[in-house]
Chains A and B, each alone.
Chain A
Amino acid sequence: MPRGTARGYDLRMQRWILHVDMDAFFAAVERLDDPSLVGRPVIVGGLGPRGVVSTASYEARAFGVRSAQPMAQARRLCPQGVFLAPRHERYEVVSRQVRAVLARFSQLVEPVSVDEAFVDLTDADPPPERLAMAIHKAVPRETGLSCSVGLAGNRLLAKLASEAAKPGGLRVIHPEEVGGFLDPLAVERLWGVGPKTAQRLSDRGVRTIGDLRAVDPSLLHAWFGAAQGATLWRHARGLDDSPVVPVREAKSISQEATFPEDIEDRAILADELRRMATGLARRLSEEGLLARAVRLKVRWADFATQTRQVKLPEPTDDPSLIGDEALSLWERRVAEGGQGVRLLGVGLDGLIEASFRPLSLFCSEDECAAP
């Protein structure tokens, strides 16, 4: 049995991963529903005073409008644009149609956000390149929306390939092309390299992925720590063995908050995590339960979602311990996003009946007896 990942990949085996990215998705859906918008610059986003651009059509991008830009700035750049508030329920419906198309080609479809998905074509019967072409045609034919498709040996490269294919193209990266493809790209193009990391690299003279490949691993380790250092080293070489995982829902108690505006202030997010931990701890004690694991969910402004979990040394219903774990998950396991947080959630898993209560050594609360 090959070792490694959830699917039992042999790490040396050539995989084929497809990345599908819908082009200017929100704007394209608006256009689909209202054909009078075709050919005009369409900008979807928050229309309030602090609103930001979620999606700009390619016509609007020609005026310099970008996603995550303040809406006021977008209005100045493109006064003739059509400005619309997002209709998330509608996008979700269209997103499901796209997923249904993908599901016909492979059972291994992992939606990463409302307008992006990975598809594992490793075990596909027709050659992956032919399937990629078929998907690239089927999605617009069946949904009326344009998409960009990347095909490569792993998720990292597949996503970079679909970016290179934008808009509306198809790009395949064969194993022997990886170095040549990656080397000239800016380091920011890699996953996990946000503005902060890019700045720290640039301060040390590292600007392209080729530059990054030449850095001694001990330096990366010292600059960025074990996890991020190793990730940068691997990604610079186009290495990524993360599997395509179809999503499943876990059963447990959780609390989530979607913010009216994306939040970047870490102190506000920390307060929010503490607040949720307290709420969940109350629910535990009301139901006479203890939790053995804590889970954190973060959805970024671009709808990319991360979930991280950690086991507790002892089961607990203590709000401060649950809050500590949620915060340290946030600090240690969530990659720098370089963008605001749209949704934050805390979940508790491994719930058991509270027939006992372990007392903590360093607990400062009143109910915890000082030794």
Chain B
Amino acid sequence: MQIVCARDDLTFGVRTVSYALSPRSSMPILGGIRLCATEAGLQLGATDLERSIQCEVLAKVGAQGAIVCPGQVLAQLSTRLPEHEVTLGESDGKARLQCGEADFELLVHAADEFPELPTPPEAVLCRVARDSLIQGIAQAAFAALKASETTRLALTGVDLLIRDGTLKLAATNGYRLSVKQIDVLELADGHDGTYLVDAQILNDLQRVLSSLGSDEVQIYEDQGHLHFRAGPVLFSTRLVQEQFPDFERVIPKDSEFGLLLPRETFLETLRRVEITAAEESGAVTLKVTPKETAVEISSASKEKGAGKERVRLAKPADKGLEIAFRAEYLIDALRRMNSDQVALWLSAPDRAGLIEPAGEIKPEDEGFLYVCMPVRLI
């Protein structure tokens, strides 16, 4: 193969597909990026077999064919090339890359060992706005566990639930749950379904989407895969074959009372008070007194001491309550929100708390809710 392309186009393509590289894999071929030149142009692809990313790049094709270059080397090189046209071809079983005065011969992997990459079916499952999907992933995926941390796969995934013309993204580690509902632009007729996707992979999808200019993402589904197409990029991922827990059931529907809190002040207070929380529990206590217009947030540990701070409420509390949460869980949610105020709905010291955006809700926060189980201090 032999192609000529603009440096920035190559850099963009390599960076995009690099999110699927698996440089430390036990299969060395998975550390490679396949560059495939055909009549249609140049296509870059990489996969770790769980996900694959393919990206079309504008190029003049001199000779068709495919080579597999070591991904990390190509990624490093492409960002440091001088501003010239890039010529990339194959000679003597090596890849030759020329750009201005720069001239590199790179070792290649055997192209016929490169795995076949999945392709989506013709029919679109649904279309969503790119920005909504990015925000949906940002506000849901953080609540899951990493695959390296657990053997319970359902907790490493984000559940994509399509029902009644909307898309909900939900994730949980068994102690907290985040749910984000986003609008669907177009949906295959009467389609309901649920798809579990690894949270880390969705985070990478979010990064890839963030660097694209297109407004819209098309989602396809087939044979255990979900495919996301946006502009020149096709991002495919295998589905996690596990049952996601019935999350609707654990969202509190009839909390006894709500506290209206200034989000940033609440967040900063938690970040301070967390410092004196006990190492193992990370717990902070929220003390609400009836008729008072402030909530007291405190923590104490044998090793470090104690701290407390009051946060003003927009209106006095109806009831009194003392409840403890792992501060990290509250911080995780509050720092991913944008609205000035949040509502914290509570019932009892051993029942789940519910956080929602409140007051003048920013568009980015629409459809977001977060459930957090308390910690019982003994």
Contacts and interface: CB of A to CB of B under 8 A. Distances in A.
Interface stretch (B150-158, B226-234, B304-312): B150-158
Contacts of B172: 361-362
A364 to B, nearest CB: 11
Contacts of A371: 250-252, 351-352, 371, 373
Contacts, number: 114
Given A218-B116, A230-B25, A332-B151, A361 B373 contact: yes
Nearest to A310: B151
A325 interface: yes
Interface stretch (A73-81, A123-131, A349-357): A349-357
Interface string B260-297: 00000000000000000010110100000000000000
A interface residue count range (under 10 / 10 to 19 / 20 to 34 / 35 or more): 35 or more
Contacts of B173: 313
A216 B152 CA distance: 28
A252 interface: no
Contacts of A217: 27, 29-30, 49, 113, 115
A260 interface: no
Contacts of B251: 371
Interface in A314-332: 314-315, 321, 324-325, 328-329, 331-332
B351 A369 contact: yes
A157 to B, nearest CB: 16
A76 B298 CA distance: 77
Given A226-B49, A226-B50, A369-B351, A358 B326 contact: yes
Contact of B26 (A239, A333, A352, A358): A239
Contacts of A99: none
A358 B151 CA distance: 20
Contacts of B47: 218
Interface in A339-371: 352, 354-362, 369-371
Contacts of A231: 26
A221 B49 contact: yes
Contact of B375 (A311, A333, A356): A356
A194 interface: no
Interface string B336-378: 0000000000001011100000000000000000010111111
Given A313-B155, A361-B250, A355 B351 contact: no
A162 B324 CA distance: 60
B150 A310 contact: yes
Contacts of A332: 151, 153
Contacts of A325: 151-152
Contacts of B37: none
B100 interface: no
Given A216-B115, A357-B375, 15 more contacts: A218-B47, A221-B49, A230-B26, A230-B49, A310-B151, A324-B152, A325-B151, A331-B151, A354-B378, A356-B278, A356-B375, A357-B376, A358-B326, A361-B250, A371-B251
16 contacts: A216-B115, A216-B116, A217-B29, A217-B49, A233-B27, A234-B26, A313-B145, A313-B149, A313-B173, A325-B152, A355-B281, A356-B376, A356-B377, A357-B378, A358-B175, A358-B326
Interface of B: 25-27, 29-30, 47, 49-50, 113, 115-117, 145, 149-153, 155, 172-177, 245, 250-252, 278, 280-281, 283, 324, 326, 348, 350-352, 371, 373-378
